[in-house]
Structure 1
Amino acid sequence: MELRLGPRRRSPRLLALVGDGADLISTLPEDLLLLVLARLGCAAAAARTGVLSRRWRGLWARLRRVVFNDVALHSLEAALGCIPPPPPAVSLLRIRLPMPRGRVPKKQLVDTNRVNSLLRAAARLDPEEFFLAFPWDLFQAHGLRLLLDLPCFHRATSIEVELDLCCTIRCVPAGGEFSALERLSLCSCTADLDALLSCCPLLRTLRLTDVRFHDDVMSVNSPLLQELIVVHGRFVDHVNIVAPMLTQLTMFFEIFHTHSISILAPMMEKFSWGCYLYGNQATFGVWILRKLSLNTAEGQGQLSSLHVNASPSTNFYGETDNLEQQIVKHMIVDFSVLELHLTTKEHVYGAFVVHLLGINRIHCVMQRLKVNLQRPEENEEGCLPHCRCDSPNWKSQTISLTSLEEVEITGFDGEDHEFDLLKLILRCAPILKRIILKLSQEASESNDRCAKIYNILRVHSSVECSIYLSSGLIHGSQNCTLT
């Protein structure tokens, strides 16, 4: 075999492809080159194309959609300084800092002065859309706390900021105004919301995710606001919303202390409300309110609903029964369905349910009642002798359930106190049309309990009854005849 060393000859076909070595890409029109750079999706990557040709150097700074992904903080301000201020206008400025890996050099550490300087450099470009995101690991790893002075972005119609709860958006410049801002999104930070919104006269959409509020007060006063979304609001003691044009409200938050709720939104059409209560804020006997939610109907034929989640505490007996007072605070829209999710722990729940049904703003409007019973594992401590969960008085009460048309109980066990509650509902609901009983496994396997259900329901021949064993439907008829 003969081995030859020397220049390799190129085939005619390859020579035709590479041409005569001229830089054909750089001869393209500038608008087309900018389009190529924009397709890279990152300003840092676009800047690196400057090594290809002098024609490409600095061209990235003329992009109208500027995206910095995983660019270190110490390099960002210098990069923003390369972009000429408008005109022409920057339509989008998006900045996401990189996730820290190992020990971060001192020059790359995030601090208040550096971030505020970066924000001022970003505001100088006056983008129409601005997005800033910090990785939460950066704060946890280095114990950082930031006080951010958000400058005014006069042309911005949309601003999104993702930080960490140790970051506080402190203020905006005195007399400053986000004169074009229509959409504001804050994630994982602490904010003086009232002061911030006073600078946003045209705001239409406000989204707050994992936000802690100044003095634990969520105050929203916005004349043109149409959509308000609060996800995992932290430590909210007081809610005050004044939004005359608001049509959609979605709010899920936590309460640790005594709270007040005030909402003025006469145009509201869609409503989703969820509140997690910690401690013993809302109690009735041994029962403690854990979660409350309120939702407007989502589709045609559906009804708005109030959901109550409660469970008994084996080591707490409420000195003051304040359940009604706490629940009524959340009844800020009308509803037709009351849905109870009760973790019973073998406690008698009839007195608790009757107390809820006795609340005037519930029994006057309730058309459907759903009770979902959940029983924990057998090794958990259950009801003790002489427990306050039961009393003879509730069984003889009369409640005017004049609007109630349907009752559904899931997990019906067939205990005597459960039959007492069923009898009370049948006695107090004159227009009741249907009862659905979904039996627990224990009740499903007991002929005596099934027979007792039949004996009670057959007296009310006008009520349609559907009875389900744990394995499926065993009966559904007008005359309550078991098969």
Structure 2
Amino acid sequence: MGEDRRRCSGSEDRISGLPDELLHAILVRLYSTRAAARSSVLSRRWRHVWAHLPELFLGGSRDAPPPLASLPDAVDAALAAYSATAAPLERLHITLRRGDGGHPVQASRAASWLRFASRHVVGELRLFVPAPGVDGEEEEVLELPACHRAKSVRLTIHDSWRLRPQPAGLFAALTSLRIDYGRMEASELTDLVCKRCPQLRDLNLSVDLVDVSDVSVLSGSLQSLLFFVLNIRRLEVVAPRLEELLVYHASEAHITSPKLAELVWNGEDYDPRLHKFDDVGRHLRLLEIGQISGAASLMRQFDEVDKLKLQISIPWAHSCPLSCPCRLAESGRVDGIALSFLEEVKLHNFASSSDELEFVEELSRCNAAVLKKLVINYAYGPATPLTMAICEKVRSMWRPNVSVEFYVFLDGRLVRFD
């Protein structure tokens, strides 16, 4: 017992004797740079270990607010300590919340963090600086330096900030870029995407243009594009490797992408005179169309679609009068679209209104000879609850060999209704 007691109370520190690489692996699993930095009080050996970590997580839900300094001050201090080393960073995450530090973060301060990232990050950079939640902010310029070694960059910034890429340098290793909020000049956005990111594969843009302008996305490497840009006049996409395209609010578009396999179109009515698909893939894995006019014309642009998602608005409370033209027999016919290989149909937010039941009956008359299953997910909290009588009424509309399944929300999840 006496020997065991001496072992427990002895001054031997076996953890500090571990190699730096193993200590780094331990501290990285804290997912909090602030917690890792606190390890420096353990011994002189630990004092600078955290400043050589391959990953820095500053702020976010895992970090309690610093007790003496604001979070932006803590970010400044951590980056200053790390700058004394030449160690590369696999990850740098800076996540601020509204109220951190008591005052909104200025764009010039965030720019200093981006300059640090341009020198150190060789993997993933994430910067989240939310808007302070007050109206009438003056525009500030956030300069984006070329992060020539970063592979993934995600920026979430103030709506009022104008993101301005510095004119020199390449994002030579960048494969994934996401920008949420903020404003950009169309010419600078086009230059960034077309000339500065030669390895870019995934591009996600949700920004405002400073003025109503045209934007071009010309890329030989791009494979996935989400384009949600306001103030856009005309979008041009020429991307020979592009497979996934999500477009929101493009009043005019010209798309050239022979490998296109997935298309999501939302927010803007489709007009074949203004929206051109030239030399695109004719067989899609997925076609998703929002609540727009011209959906049938858009579907005709493609020969085959494996999975089709349509958003259809059917008002629950106000049914069309019997005299409405939409009730004419010919209004339910769409030429040039065949459902010959359709195997499964899913309906979401169903509420069993008379118009919805009429739509289901019309759908049952479509020429879908190999259809096997109809799945109906009932709307959460509808005015008309689902009953067995409604289930039987819907089943009676379909062939006996079509399985019709109903699901309802229970405790926040969908549960089979039998």
The 5-angstrom pairing of residues 256-267 of structure 1 reads: 259-267=251-259
The residue type paired with residue 207 of structure 1 is: N
Q: Is the 8 A contact 1:216 1:238 kept in 2?
A: yes
Shift of 1:100: 1.5
CA distance in 2, matches of 1:377, 1:23: 72
Per the alignment, residue 141 of structure 2 pairs with: 147
Shift of 1:305: 5.6
CA distance in 1, matches of 2:328, 2:196: 47
Q: Is the 8 A contact 1:261 1:330 kept in 2?
A: no
SS at match of 2:216: strand
Q: Is the 8 A contact 1:160 1:186 kept in 2?
A: yes
Matched, 1:244 2:258: no
- Residue 334 to residue 25, structure 1, CA distance change in 2 (3 Å): same
Shift of 1:351: 7.5
Partner deviation per Cα, 1:177-207 (whole Å, 9 max, x = no partner): 1111111122233334312212111111112
Q: Is the 8 A contact 1:335 1:365 kept in 2?
A: no
Matched, 1:271 2:194: no
Shift of 1:52: 1.5
Same amino acid, percent of matched pairs: 23
Aligned length: 349
- Residue 112 to residue 471, structure 1, CA distance change in 2 (3 Å): closer
Q: Is the 8 A contact 1:66 1:92 kept in 2?
A: yes
CA distance in 1, matches of 2:88, 2:192: 25
Q: Is the 8 A contact 1:346 1:375 kept in 2?
A: no
Per the alignment, residue 201 of structure 1 pairs with: 198
CA distance in 2, matches of 1:51, 1:58: 10
Q: Is the 8 A contact 2:92 2:126 kept in 1?
A: yes
Partner deviation per Cα, 1:225-257 (whole Å, 9 max, x = no partner): 112234x554554332111111222x15246xx
CA distance in 1, matches of 2:48, 2:17: 16
- Equivalent residue in structure 2 for 1:37, among 24, 27, 30: 27
Per the alignment, residue 111 of structure 1 pairs with: 106
TM-score by length of 2: 0.67
CA distance in 1, matches of 2:9, 2:370: 84
Partner deviation per Cα, 1:368-387 (whole Å, 9 max, x = no partner): 699x9x99989xxx9xxxxx
Matched, 1:176 2:147: no
- Equivalent residue in structure 2 for 1:470, among 374, 387, 393: 393
Per the alignment, residue 220 of structure 1 pairs with: 217
Q: Is the 8 A contact 1:260 1:329 kept in 2?
A: no
Per the alignment, residue 115 of structure 2 pairs with: 120
Per the alignment, residue 99 of structure 2 pairs with: 100
Shift of 1:168: 2.7
The residue type paired with residue 200 of structure 1 is: C
Per the alignment, residue 76 of structure 2 pairs with: 77
Shift of 1:434: 9.4
Q: Please give the root-mean-square deviation of Cα atoms over the aligned residues, in Å.
A: 4.5
CA distance in 2, matches of 1:17, 1:97: 45
SS at match of 1:341: coil
CA distance in 2, matches of 1:57, 1:435: 67
Q: Is the 8 A contact 1:139 1:145 kept in 2?
A: no
Larger radius of gyration: 1
- Residue 329 to residue 29, structure 1, CA distance change in 2 (3 Å): closer
Q: Is the 8 A contact 2:267 2:290 kept in 1?
A: no
- Residue 245 to residue 434, structure 1, CA distance change in 2 (3 Å): closer
Shift of 1:219: 3.1
CA distance in 2, matches of 1:308, 1:47: 48
Partner deviation per Cα, 1:109-148 (whole Å, 9 max, x = no partner): 3112211122112222243321111234x35489475421
Q: Is the 8 A contact 1:165 1:189 kept in 2?
A: yes
TM-score by length of 1: 0.59
Per the alignment, residue 187 of structure 1 pairs with: 180
Shift of 1:474: 6.5
Matched, 1:346 2:320: yes
Q: Is the 8 A contact 1:130 1:156 kept in 2?
A: yes
The 5-angstrom pairing of residues 303-452 of structure 1 reads: 309=291, 328=297, 332-335=301-304, 341=312, 343=314, 345-347=319-321, 348-350=324-326, 354=330, 363-367=335-339, 410-411=357-358
CA distance in 2, matches of 1:366, 1:173: 51
Q: Is the 8 A contact 1:156 1:180 kept in 2?
A: yes
CA distance in 2, matches of 1:134, 1:434: 51
SS at match of 2:58: strand
Q: Is the 8 A contact 1:223 1:243 kept in 2?
A: yes
- Residue 201 to residue 353, structure 1, CA distance change in 2 (3 Å): farther
Per the alignment, residue 131 of structure 1 pairs with: 126
